[in-house]
Amino acid sequence: MDKGTLRTTCDPDEAVLSSDVTFITVGTPNKEDGSIDLKYVLEASNMIGKALRRKNEWHLIVVKSTVVPRTIENFVRKAIEEASGKVAFKGFGLAVNPEFLKEGSAIEDFMKPDRIVIGANDEKSMRVLEEIYSSFDCPKLATNINTAELMKYANNAFLAMKVSFINMMGNLCEKLPGTDVEVIAKGIGFDCRIGPLFLRAGAGWGGSCWPKDLKALANFGKNTNVRLPLIEATLEINENQPYRVIELAEELLNSLKLRKISVLGLAFKPNTDDIREAVSIKIVKALLDRGAKVSVYDPAAIKNVRQIFDNRISYANSALECIKDSECAMIITEWDEFRELKPEDYARLMKRPILIDGRRIYNTKEYTRYVKIKAIGLGETCPSN
């Protein structure tokens, strides 16, 4: 910005006519059957194509949006060609550059990527995009468009599979007294072929990417006549995982009817207000279905959750307020401020100090003197005396 090289505009024609490369970065939400909805991608393609009618110079269009293989070939190319009157790879270039940004750290991830994937089917498009990223010091992988399109799905599916795997093992550990999935995760994480990342058992994963992408990948496999059983199992495990938190509470309280239950954490992960596909929503709905009185707290996501549940639940202004007079507290999002709560806080404020640690943020042995605690993936109940 100090150099004056960054300009913004709401005019797509101006954006295309005053540049050499256009990136498409719009969303690709799921349809009801799990397939991706291309309406935003095609709207962007159409706008770019119309602008290209007024441009004589060659122009590169790069798709960063997450799209299944053959999307560029079958849809984006056709839309731009029809709107522009030009022929792909002659009047304009096409490339795919999947993004691997994490929500909450997108700028840092962009400036310091762990890899850059470039997909193009012609030398000129590939060369231009490689020049754009020439100053980035990270591994760069050049491939064709179809492979680059599939890369993002493979990446997210594998990460989600690791989490669902350790959650599956955690569910088994809960049936084996003294068995702790965190120790198992640490042990297998030492294996360099596996690694320690994404081996944290919990109440399940959510957000705007993994659920959407795995559903789209499963649908794409079905339409391609290739069954993807690992993807289906990963989704199934995650779909059921939030209800394990409910089951743990019922093991200690029997019925949840008319019980005041505190839900700590609503966003799908800390440091965001995003509740898309958040496990907290499933948990709150399940609690209401069982007749519980639900109080919730989250440092950032209260406003978004209120739009879903309105006055059917109560909203606290702090974690301490949320657990006051509660008969069971559930940790659903691992915000740092929840780690700062002491076991004495739960014992002092709750009507019945029962705690379900759905994110494994507490040392259960330290809490057993003060509260009854159950934790995801821990094969023992830790009651207070």
- The catalytic residues are 209
**Contacts of 137 by beta carbon, 8 Å cutoff, 6+ apart:** none
SS3 of residue 43 by DSSP: helix
H-assigned helices in the chain: 12-17, 39-52, 71, 77-84, 106-111, 123-132, 145-173, 181-189, 210-223, 229-240, 242-253, 279-289, 302-309, 319-323, 336-339, 343-349, 364-367
Task: Give the C-alpha separation, 76 to 36, whole Å.
Answer: 14
Other CB atoms closer than 10 Å to residue 352's CB: what's the count?
Answer: 15
Distance of CA 257 to the CA centre of its chain: 32
Angle at 158 between CA 140 and CA 144, to 5 degrees: 40
SS3 of residue 364 by DSSP: helix
DSSP 133: T
Kindly write down the DSSP assignment for every residue of 80-101, as one continuous string. Answer: HHHHH---BTTTEEEEE----P
Q: How far is CA 22 from CA 48, 50, 127, 145, 307, in A?
A: 8, 13, 15, 16, 36
Task: Give the C-alpha separation, 357 to 268, whole Å.
Answer: 16
Are residues 151 and 213 in contact, defined by beta-carbon separation less than 8 angstroms?
no
SS3 of residue 16 by DSSP: helix
